Amino acid sequence: MKNKTLYALLMFICIVGFWLFENFYTPATYSNPDTVEVDLGDFDYLPSSTNGEVVNHEYFTLSYSETYEQAEWVAYQLKKDHLTSDDRKRPYFIEDPKVTSKSADWRNYRGSGYDRGHLVPAGDRRFSEFAFNETFYTSNISPQDKDFNAGIWNRLEQQVRYWCKQYGDLIVITGGVLEDGLKEIGDEDVDVPDAFYKIVLKDKGDRMEVIAFLIPAKDSEKSLSQFVVSIDELEAKTGIDFFQKQPKAWQDEVESKADISGFKL
């Protein structure tokens, strides 16, 4: 009888301990204490923020929307020397300590049926433990259908890495289309985008070449080329001025085209 009671007590302690760990454990920040944060505030291709909450991390910048509990965009530079196959231990998803209102807790996704979809892919940041871990701030994730996340969205992420190997350093801007009436998940009402976009820029020396994608948030076997859109279309859809710091003449020329000629697909 005593052994049974002891066994039951130990089981109870283990269950409570596991529950407490799952629900209340939060690792320390993923910021690198030994390096200087890269401030992209003067970055020539940083988009506008519709809410003013711009957050600079060491390896990417984002604009966080408290209304939708996720970033409306993330922007980062992808360099050739970033493309490594280093094996990294997958860390915990944690709230972004630099978001003043706190980014949504990862537990909003639990049981929702949606993946915690990265905006800056972890695969683009394997070159550094801190760079890799930063992609697991919840400010860098958005609810995604698992087939979309593992399917066409993953294909596009791989295509961007291929372009980086082929063309050299790139600038990438990406996010979900945030609008009224979206489905919400979790206690914090995290919105589920119906579509995601990605903009890729490459420097040709005398000019910047740009390609943009707008993809419904479900898997598709279609060619990526069928989802190429103009920047003007993305701006109308999102309300974001993606190249606000560029001259108007440049914007008028570049943003009106849905051009794939500079990118091999």
Active site residues: 118
Give residue 94's identity as a one-letter amino acid code.
I
Contact 125, 82 (CB under 8 A): yes
CB atoms within 10 A of CB 18: 10
Pair of tokens at residue 8: 């039951």
Contact 57, 137 (CB under 8 A): yes
CB atoms within 10 A of CB 208: 17
Q: How far apart are CA 106 and CA 99, in angstroms?
A: 15
Q: How far apart are CA 242 and CA 75, in angstroms?
A: 10
Q: Give the β-pairing of 54-56 and 61-65.
A: antiparallel
